[in-house]
Amino acid sequence: MYNKEKCRKLTDRILTVVKASEKDMVVVNKIDLYNIMIELDLYDISFNSIAGLRKELNFNNYKLIEKSNKHLKIKKL
């Protein structure tokens, strides 16, 4: 698990990527988060270690369809 601050920043960045997409189904991978990974001094990212991600996506009208260590599949509701 990442600490609270890192989880918040990663979640915000994921939401930014998803909101910028015009498609209903969006796949977010490590390349999409490269800049924030450098900022947070992360060499590798595990999407399974981001606390509160599903709750935050649901709050913003998105549904987490698939979650793995390498990518997220998110659908707009």
CATH 3.40.50 corresponds to the domain 4-76: no
Strand partners, 48: none
Contact in structure between 33 and 14 (CB atoms under 8 Å): yes
Position 43 pLDDT exceeds 90: no
Contact in structure between 51 and 8 (CB atoms under 8 Å): no
Prediction pTM value: 0.89
DSSP string, 12-68: HHHHHHHHH--SSEEEEEGGGGHHHHHHTT-SS--GGG-TTHHHHHHHTTEEEEEE-
Query: What integer is the mean pLDDT of 12-40?
Result: 91
Return the residue matching tokens 């509160």: 52
The reported pLDDT for the residue numbered 54 is: 93
